[in-house]
Chains A and B, each alone.
Chain A
């Protein structure tokens, strides 16, 4: 469904103004009596009460360092966030540190809190957030910016780091979006870049010790800026190298996470079975930022699942990662766990599976309730040409085999993810999505017995391409909203079977995502102005107010269409150039150029090194529990040696010859899809690394 544009919300709550911020430290006093009076008036009051099993004890006493971990969205969304589970566990093990959690309340509660002058509180002790020494906020996605301002405002903490007094909490951020910190830098005292396990403990220890010595805020920030992986906006550094947890397998799994009463988005026990993905999809920031691949061993995972399930009482364990079916021992893990829980109501789920290795995992998923849910696959593009451009490395044959195997194996529901607006996309690629979905539906129908054909469900979910920082497509523009709307209409009229359920993302929200994703410091003002005009919960389609963003952009003289749609030249400086994500800029440029030559690049865990630059640092290596190549052989046998794998291997072995870019083709595409030909900047044939390309390995 396309969102209807809506007018700015008439504020039903008192106008959002920063209240008089007292310079003295906010007292750690319980707000429980005031909160209790509001609870009968709100939806799902259980979101605000705390008291979960394994949560920190409630106390009014001050500790040497009081830390609040905050997720900038509803409890229902953030309550199961694996990053916060890990960081919470780290903090509660540190001596002299007391950790609590807070979430952004839902709009009904926010209105009541403003009307009754109640400030944002922590769940465990129900004390004001402003009374904490340090507040850690995770930045899960680009649309969370306005929620961060909403929660700072509700907590009565000055929005800007430079306005915070000596006694105000230190507000520190981390998470995937922190890799481009500039749009958020004014709101945070410091941002942590990269894996949080080590740097978070270092930050807490440092702040705790300095606080105990009576050191002032400025000196604390100066000391924080010296920590590797920490960016303090007021203490700029020429280069910030992200932090990497070298040995995931050696890092303990949290088996006693807080157990929410609310049904959360991921209401199950999760074990991160591997971190990183080397498949190299060119639009994917998670795949570029979390390299190298680090696996936990089968024994570690099986032990963690057994221990976690017995301590939490969940009836489901998720083997979580960016691409779970890629784990070198996945079949063994699923087999061992299925054996352990064969006679129980406990289910093991694999949330993220690839089409091309589904066959090898399928054989292990035998119990009926594993097949009850929806299987999701992500071909991402309809045509093989476009899948080669984005380096998806799956073929139509892979999809057909996976669908056929899944429906023959007992599944009845499947969801396919696609993306529209990808670089070089033409109308033919959009029509190919419908064709491929129809083919998948027919395959599913054929795979099930005739009497059960009415049970076959296939749904299509179309996201909009968002150029993300630190990816090969960071230089590419997003098509205009009108153009995206046209492509959605084209898809709907492309003969998609009526029984296939189609959903798509709101292009207006995706445009804001693109603007923030590639934004510099001025985008911070855009976020603030949009928030002041009523924007919040932008990731919730029913709460998203495009008008607030457009008015804010107008007031600041910014053009959202231009910011999201601009194709950047390869040598233009980028706001995130000073962040060393591990992957070199040379690699990104090479991948960008290969994309326009429709050249794929194989996964380095299956073939040879792709020279992305990540493993050039000491101690940082791809760590697999066992070789993936053995398993690849097995997969190929199962999948009938799909053409994809062979092609990927050939691509990896052949040195790429970059001829002149196929500009004529691309320009023609742009005209066809409504782009102005002048929007296109030709990639130079000889990429010149930017000066800031510090990530170049020293050889």
Chain B
């Protein structure tokens, strides 16, 4: 393990929301190679760049707050690293900042996190948001089909129901929900799957936009609980 573990903060925006996690990783790997940063490589049979990412974003979901841990073989001041990356970044994957974290810090995916999502849905009758919020608050168990099999989930483990609320939508016939979802190593559920599970019977949801607004480690959450985003 390298001593220089650079945590890079970036976004996935616009058209590039359609990238899968692997495509995103590949695009960022190439960005790192173009930047000329002294990245570390694994010592195995098939050498590859040593990096790790925060929880995978689904295809079609944009994000304003993503992280990548990159191991370097020598120290580069974070500002210089950010500047090198920004110069070669792809439009739609902007680099926001970077800092060094301890090599002993748990891996990004192993950290219990809270991911705040904003979901925009079609709501021509202006009643969907209230119905969904009421259903989320009153439901304890939800059934979601994963890989074809129905699976039961305890909703309060997945979603901070008390913080789930309605936001101002971008158009009159839309509604927008704020959903803080818990990400653990054991997995999580995408916001649209939770909404579909509690949607009023016979009503299909037409989702217009899903954005991951922020990603916070769970202790961080305790400190900021109740704070407006």
| A→B interface (CB under 8 Å) | 39-40, 44-46, 48-53, 259, 261-263, 309-315, 344-345, 368-369, 372
Contacts and interface: CB of A to CB of B under 8 A. Distances in A.
26 contacts: A44-B20, A45-B18, A45-B60, A46-B23, A48-B18, A50-B15, A51-B14, A51-B92, A52-B90, A53-B90, A261-B27, A262-B23, A263-B26, A310-B33, A311-B34, A312-B30, A312-B34, A313-B32, A313-B34, A315-B49, A344-B47, A345-B48, A345-B49, A368-B46, A369-B45, A369-B47
A255 to B, nearest CB: 12
A313 B31 contact: yes
B88 A313 contact: yes
A39 B30 contact: no
Contact of B60 (A40, A52, A309, A310): A40
Given A51-B16, A313-B88, 6 more contacts: A45-B18, A45-B59, A51-B90, A312-B34, A315-B29, A372-B45
B45 A46 contact: no
Contact of A345 (B20, B34, B47): B47
Contact of A372 (B26, B32, B41, B46): B46
A314 B15 contact: no
A368 B45 CA distance: 6
Given A345-B41, A345-B48, A369-B45, A314 B30 contact: yes
Contacts of A50: 15
B36 A310 contact: yes
Nearest to A262: B23
Nearest to A126: B15
A311 B31 CA distance: 9
Contacts of B46: 368-369, 372
A599 B19 CA distance: 55
B75 interface: no
A368 B60 CA distance: 38
| Most chain A beta carbons < 10 A, residue from B15, B30, B41, B45 | B15
B18 A46 contact: yes
A51 B30 contact: no
B73 to A, nearest CB: 10
| CB-based closest 9 A-B pairs | A313-B30, A313-B33, A313-B34, A45-B18, A49-B15, A345-B47, A345-B41, A46-B18, A261-B23
Contacts of A46: 18-20, 23, 59
A309 B33 CA distance: 8
B30 A259 contact: yes
Most central of A44, A51, A52, A262 by chain B CB within 10 Å: A51
A263 B31 CA distance: 16
Contacts of B18: 39, 45-46, 48-49
Nearest to A373: B46
Contacts of A310: 33-34, 36
A336 B18 CA distance: 39
Given A46-B23, A49-B16, A263-B23, A313 B45 contact: no
Contacts of B207: 40
Contacts of A315: 29, 33, 48-49
Nearest to B35: A313
B9 to A, nearest CB: 20
Contacts of A309: 33
Contacts of A53: 90
Nearest to B39: A345
A594 B55 CA distance: 65
A492 to B, nearest CB: 34
Nearest to B209: A36
A53 B88 CA distance: 9
Nearest to A45: B18
A368 B42 CA distance: 13
A369 B22 CA distance: 21
Contacts of A312: 30, 34
Contacts of B26: 261, 263
A311 B33 CA distance: 9
